């Protein structure tokens, strides 16, 4: 199966995976006819669907079918059926952030920082627990920009534009009471029971090995590959921080990790030394996700 998935994909194969994704979403939401439920489901679908195109844009997986299939299984395994509106917005905007910030075109990146700031601000409005993404973007700007001060100003300008618009609309609607949820440090729900994630332990172990293997052969990789992979690791860390601090029993937060984890694992599988290791690891990942899905479906977690 690994050899079959290692074949090069093309733009025409992506709609097949998106179609399967749509089928998953419809099946899990077939009994939900509420307007809000339909809205969040649609936003979630578009956010996840856009991520399929991000694989080719980021170009860390050699345009093969492997990341597309793995990502589909991750969504199948981690999708709880009903997603919070804030998480749905975050899934959609994360895809845009990845497209903008992983570009190797410095001119494109510096022109997009106002838009990135607006996206981060929008994320915070709908899901305040995504504040680690703002820290991540600032670190990214400082580490990669030639004109740090100017690009930080552009980023903050985007944040300010959305913030002013939000407060103006809130004032117009006479919503003048401050909600404590917008101070996320006082509303942390740190995960205490990790037993629910037992089926996902093999995936966690593979991720640790993948990161170790990347840095072991760090100097042998191309500058572009090093830049994009390091970006993805820091991006994953920001998402992981949100998951650990605020997920509690809102397991849809795990969807925020699906895209970066898929890329990391896909690259690990490709560079394993033996074919049997690649094949066995692939099936272990699939089995772990299906097991977690089964427990989720039976309300055992």
pLDDT in tens, 85-116: 889 999 999 988 888 888 777 777 778 899 99
Strand partners, 64: 8
| 275-297 helix and 201-216 helix, angle to the nearest 10 degrees | 140
Please name the residue ranges forming H helices in 102-147: 106-126, 131-144
| Cβ atoms 265, 70 nearer than 8 A | yes
Q: Is 94 exposed, middle or buried (0-12, 13-18, 19+ CB in 10 A)?
A: buried
Helix (H, G, I), strand (E, B) or coil at 13: coil
Q: How many CA atoms lie within 13 A of 179 on its CB side?
A: 11
The pLDDT score that the predictor gives to residue 191 is 66
| Cβ atoms 45, 25 nearer than 8 A | yes
Strand partners, 8: 64
- 28-35: list long-range contacts, CB under 8 Å, 24+ apart: 28/79, 28/81, 29/81, 29/82, 32/81, 32/82
| Cβ atoms 212, 271 nearer than 8 A | no
Please list the ranges in the chain whose pLDDT falls under 50: none
- Whether the full predicted model's pTM is greater than 0.85, yes or no, is yes
Separation between Cα atoms, residue 33 and residue 37, nearest integer Å = 7
Separation between Cα atoms, residue 273 and residue 76, nearest integer Å = 29
The pLDDT score that the predictor gives to residue 301 is 61
């Amino acid at each position: 199966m690994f050899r079959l998935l290692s074949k090069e994909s093309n733009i025409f194969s992506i709609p097949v995976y998106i179609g399967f994704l749509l089928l998953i979403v419809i099946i899990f939401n077939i009994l939900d006819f509420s307007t809000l439920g339909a809205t969040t489901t649609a936003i979630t679908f578009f956010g996840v669907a856009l991520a399929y195109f991000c694989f080719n844009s980021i170009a860390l997986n050699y345009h093969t079918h492997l990341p597309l299939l793995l990502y589909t299984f991750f969504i199948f395994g981690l999708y709880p059926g009903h997603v919070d509106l804030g998480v749905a917005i975050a899934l959609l905007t994360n895809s845009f952030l990845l497209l903008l910030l992983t570009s190797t075109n410095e001119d494109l990146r510096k022109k997009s920082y106002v838009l990135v700031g607006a996206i981060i601000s929008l994320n915070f409005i709908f899901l305040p627990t995504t504040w680690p993404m703002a820290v991540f973007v600032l670190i990214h700007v400082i580490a990669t920009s030639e004109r740090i001060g100017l690009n930080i100003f552009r980023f903050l300008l985007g944040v300010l534009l959305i913030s002013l618009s939000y407060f103006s609309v809130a004032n117009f609607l006479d919503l003048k009471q401050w909600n404590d949820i917008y101070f996320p440090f006082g509303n942390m729900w740190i995960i205490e029971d990790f037993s629910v994630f037992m089926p996902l332990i093999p995936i966690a172990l593979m991720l640790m090995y993948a990161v170790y293997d990347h840095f072991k052969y760090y100097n042998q990789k191309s500058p572009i590959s090093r830049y994009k992979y390091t970006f993805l690791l820091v991006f994953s860390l920001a998402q992981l921080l949100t998951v650990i601090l605020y997920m509690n029993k809102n397991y849809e937060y795990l969807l925020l990790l699906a895209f970066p984890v898929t890329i990391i694992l896909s690259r690990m599988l490709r560079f394993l030394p033996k074919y049997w290791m690649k094949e066995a690891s692939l099936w272990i990942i699939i089995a772990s996700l299906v097991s977690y899905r089964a427990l989720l479906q039976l309300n055992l977690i």
